Amino acid sequence: MSTSINITHKTPWFLLPWTGLCQRATTVVLGLLWAGLMHAQDLHFSQYMNVPLLTNPANAGFNPDYDYRLGVNYRSQWVNLPVPYKTVSAWADWQILRNKLQNGWLGVGGVLLRDVAGAGNLTSTKVYANIAYHQELGEGSLLSAGFNVGMATKSIDVTKFNWESQWNGKFFDANAPIGEPIAFRQISYPDVQLGLNYAYFGRGNFYFNTGASIMHVNRPRESFFSADVSDNKVPMRYTAFANASFKLNDQWILNPSAYYSNQSRASEAVGGLTAQYNLSGDGNVQLLGGVYYRWGDAAVALVGLEWNNLRLSFTYDATTSNLRNFNGATGATEFALLKFGEYTGSGPRNTRCPSFK
């Protein structure tokens, strides 16, 4: 599969056989590249800290200073390549039974994720439901465990590609059979993820959190071919992260973090720092700025603004790998919008994480 390269009758007749051969080679090479990129790309956001339920299902309801969170995310990646990605996510989580359980509470939530890639509009839609339990360990620690269960649907439009069997020696005949044993244009399967979290709270000026999760625990089958042709199963994806917050004074809070993910032969390692600056004095208006690096891939710059528990952040990925020779180092742009809140009548809450409020 590849983006088509149209050959017109203006090509000299004596070059047509060679042109067809080059076209077929290009089809194979780009197809292999496309397949490799799709294998390496599962769920991917530079702002991993702003998609908490995708990073780890134990994050559902894991927000000690608020009762609920709402978020939307958008990412556009590799727009100059034949295989661009556009990813949209919407999610929400909230706490329940906080006053019913002894030194703990439940967190529930949900995620909707949609990803479109490539000339064939390979579309992935995933819907997950999350649940997690959070148990306080004394006054300064919190242990959490959670899981999500969802359904994934993928579809592809094979008519968007040129196939080798459609080359008639002069041009590609879109009406000719594709010659490939594709049995399904759309597939669906259940998906399961497990996760653990640990947090330490240092009296309002220091906070540390680390966690790990496993995605695709059930190893679902994912293939557009029939089982006798391909019985491909989604490999499990292992993810770990760590983040901290340091309140330096009434104007600055520093948030270093790191993230690592491994799936089959593909891995991703990201680390960096975001700084919060108190613009209003009461913490209601904050300026965000940060820098991150994805090892062997891209440098990421972040800017954002928080106003009355509403946070908007933007990141830009500048490609640092050899891929910059093909995408003009344009990388990716990404937006995140988050809303934090408390239930009406829930009463005052003591802030445990570093905060200006």
pLDDT of residue 188: 92
Q: Is 73 exposed, middle or buried (0-12, 13-18, 19+ CB in 10 A)?
A: buried
Is residue 158 included in any domain, yes or no?
A: yes
CB-CB contact of 215 with 234 (8 Å): no
Is residue 357 included in any domain, yes or no?
A: no
Is residue 151 included in any domain, yes or no?
A: yes
- Residue 342 phi/psi, 5° resolution? -125, 150
Q: What is the largest CA-CA distance in the chain?
A: 82
pLDDT of residue 347: 54
Average pLDDT score over residue span 226-242: 88
Q: Is 285 exposed, middle or buried (0-12, 13-18, 19+ CB in 10 A)?
A: middle
Question: For residue 38, is pLDDT > 90?
Answer: no
Is residue 1 included in any domain, yes or no?
A: no
- Residue 49 phi/psi, 5° resolution? -70, -15
pLDDT of residue 57: 95
Of 187, 198, 195, 231, which Cα lies nearest the Cα of 216?
195
Q: Which CA distances in Å does 222 have to 76, 157, 313?
A: 24, 16, 34
Mean pLDDT of the chain: 82
Is residue 130 included in any domain, yes or no?
A: yes
Overall domain count for the chain:
1
Question: How sure is the predictor about 213, in pLDDT bands with cuts at 50, 70 and 90?
Answer: very high
What is the C-alpha separation between 147 and 134, in angstroms, rounded? 12
Look at 75-79, 254-258, 302-306 and tell me which has the smallest mean pLDDT: 75-79
Question: Angle 228-192-189 (CA atoms, 0-180°, nearest 5)?
Answer: 35
Q: What is the pLDDT of residues 116-168, one digit of tens each?
A: 876 667 888 999 999 999 999 887 899 999 999 999 999 888 777 767 777 77
Percent of the chain topping pLDDT 70: 82
Is residue 354 included in any domain, yes or no?
A: no
Q: What is the pLDDT of residues 164-189, one digit of tens each?
A: 777 777 777 777 777 777 778 888 99
Look at 219-223, 243-247, 302-306 and tell me which has the smallest mean pLDDT: 219-223
Question: How sure is the predictor about 15, in pLDDT bands with cuts at 50, 70 and 90?
Answer: very low
Start-to-end CA span in the chain (Å): 54
CB-CB contact of 264 with 37 (8 Å): no
Q: What is the pLDDT of residues 56-89, one digit of tens each?
A: 999 999 987 889 999 999 999 876 666 677 899 9
Which CATH number fits the domain that encloses residue 221?
2.40.160.40
User: Residue 202: which domain range?
Assistant: 13-341
Does the pTM exceed 0.85?
Answer: no
Question: For residue 37, is pLDDT > 60?
Answer: no
